[in-house]
């Protein structure tokens, strides 16, 4: 397939790569660093540095970008509702236009002839654009018979406080880049292309670590200060592909299902907890993410020992510790690739921060990924007292498009 990597993957079958475009250099970055923690792999030290702008992730490929690549410094999420007049042909035109613009911008080219040069001097800065389809799309586009069963509505979870206006949507666009102007410009291009075809439903904006902000690659921290993502599946895991990427229906083979949750953190309460209380709630040391079961010599990647006790016989990982409840949920084989971003949207009327996590989980089947994990967490996780799930969405993220094709083509023309 044109545009695909010719670099030996060595990363569990991931085929996408980012290319440092300056002076024709072709250094693979991205996939091996992954959403599972490290911002850049040992293969990719140049992802930070003078080449940050030039780093590019080809749009075309077997997978869409923005799933397994490291979380960029800036993300924009936008959901759209298809207009009644758009129909199947209009949807195909929209997706064709979106894919063409995304491919050009990801290559560092203007989105179209005569495009308005807003981010002209910046390179693509690892720009990825990811498209998703919500359950409502299929009826509106006359494709009800092709709606995946996996798009069945998520169950209600204890503690959910969902705002319908910021949930769901017929279409989803994720734009990520390491430069904010590049990301915002790309979002605006895509919004403009939707005019008359689909109406914006909600927008969210988030951030992750700027490349180079930490001296060496490591798992990122969320706004609670927790090292977040240690146990994310890795492409080298034997079941990575099966856990993250779907095999069907036909047009979704090689795609994934994305669960999005806007999770506000009750930071004022959390921040006043003593450190040892915070660590007990999580089950890990805050300083380095090492499991509390591992003793002073443990490191972040030390396996969690749920049976470990202290000399008094007390479990080192508390019964309601986040890592214990999450681990129990995963024992049934549940796995999902988390690729979240922090958000900070100012203060709520009561003065508390409107801040937290734009959580995204990718899986082959939400019923075997997010749903069982969240059912356990919502009931038994001590951390849940400090979280509010305020918005939710589920999208089918189709496979990538080959050069000359567009995302969703297998659905629209299949």
Return the active site residues.
228
DSSP-assigned beta bridge partners for residue 388: 264
- Report residue 19 CA to chain centroid gap: 21
Judged by CB under 8 A, which of 199, 308, 328, 378 binds its own copies?
A: 199
DSSP-assigned beta bridge partners for residue 29: 18
**Residue 51 burial (10 A CB sphere; 0-12, 13-18, 19+):** buried
Give the alpha-carbon dihedral of 92, 96, 98, 103, to 10 degrees: 150
**Dist. CA 193–CA 188, nearest whole Å:** 9
Judged by CB under 8 A, which of 142, 347, 379, 403 binds its own copies?
A: 347
355 binds its own copies (CB under 8 A): yes
CA atoms within 13 A on the CB side of 411: 33
236 binds its own copies (CB under 8 A): no
Shortest Å, Cβ 176 to its own copies = 13
* Count of residues that interact with its own copies, criterion CB under 8 A: 63
- Report the site for its own copies in 137-166 (rule: CB under 8 A): none
**Dist. CA 289–CA 316, nearest whole Å:** 14
**Dist. CA 93–CA 406, nearest whole Å:** 10
Shortest Å, Cβ 287 to its own copies = 6
**Dist. CA 324–CA 317, nearest whole Å:** 7
* Residue showing tokens 């995304």: 102
- Report the site for its own copies in 19-58 (rule: CB under 8 A): 22, 45, 48-54
Shortest Å, Cβ 408 to its own copies = 24
- Report the site for its own copies in 80-139 (rule: CB under 8 A): 114, 116-123, 125
Judged by CB under 8 A, which of 160, 237, 241, 271 binds its own copies?
A: 271
| Interface ranges with its own copies (CB under 8 A) | 22, 45, 48-54, 73-74, 114, 116-123, 125, 178-182, 184-185, 187-188, 191-192, 199-200, 203, 205, 207-215, 218, 221, 223-225, 267, 271, 275, 278, 286-287, 342, 344, 346-347, 351, 353, 355
């Amino acid at each position: 397939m044109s545009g695909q990597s010719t670099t030996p993957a060595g990363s569990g079958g991931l085929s996408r790569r980012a290319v440092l475009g300056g002076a024709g250099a072709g250094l693979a970055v991205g996939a091996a660093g992954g959403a599972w923690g490290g911002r850049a792999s040992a293969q990719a030290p140049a992802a930070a540095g003078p080449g940050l702008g030039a780093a590019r992730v080809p749009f075309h490929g077997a997978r869409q970008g923005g799933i397994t690549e490291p979380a960029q410094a800036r993300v924009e999420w936008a959901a759209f509702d298809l207009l009644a007049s758009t129909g199947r042909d209009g949807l195909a035109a929209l997706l064709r236009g979106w894919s063409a613009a995304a491919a050009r911008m990801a290559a560092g080219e203007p989105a179209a002839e005569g495009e308005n040069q807003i981010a002209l001097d910046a390179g693509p800065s690892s720009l990825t654009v990811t498209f998703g389809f919500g359950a409502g799309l299929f009826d509106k586009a006359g494709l009800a018979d092709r709606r995946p069963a996996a798009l069945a509505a998520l169950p209600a979870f204890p503690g959910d406080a969902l705002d319908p206006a910021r949930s769901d949507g017929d279409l989803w666009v994720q734009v990520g880049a390491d430069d904010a102007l590049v990301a915002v410009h790309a979002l605006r291009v895509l919004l403009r292309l939707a005019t008359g075809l689909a109406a914006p439903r909600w927008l969210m904006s988030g951030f992750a670590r700027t490349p180079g902000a930490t001296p060496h690659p490591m798992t990122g921290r969320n706004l609670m200060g927790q090292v977040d993502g240690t146990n994310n599946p890795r492409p080298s895991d034997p079941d990575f592909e099966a856990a993250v990427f779907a095999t069907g229906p036909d047009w979704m083979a090689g795609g994934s299902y994305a669960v999005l949750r806007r999770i506000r953190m009750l930071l004022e309460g959390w921040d006043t907890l003593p450190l040892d209380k915070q660590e007990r709630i999580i089950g890990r040391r805050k300083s380095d993410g090492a499991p509390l079961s591992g003793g002073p010599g443990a490191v972040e990647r030390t396996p969690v020992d749920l049976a470990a006790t202290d000399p008094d016989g007390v479990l080192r990982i508390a019964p309601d510790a986040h890592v214990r409840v999450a681990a129990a949920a995963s024992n049934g084989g549940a796995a999902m690739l988390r690729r979240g971003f922090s958000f900070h949207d100012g203060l709520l009327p009561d003065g508390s921060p409107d801040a937290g996590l734009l959580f995204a989980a990718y899986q082959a089947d939400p019923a075997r990924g997010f749903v069982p994990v969240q059912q356990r967490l919502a009931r038994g996780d001590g951390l849940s007292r400090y979280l509010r799930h305020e918005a939710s969405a589920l999208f089918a993220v189709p496979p990538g498009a080959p050069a000359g094709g567009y995302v969703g083509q297998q659905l629209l023309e299949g």
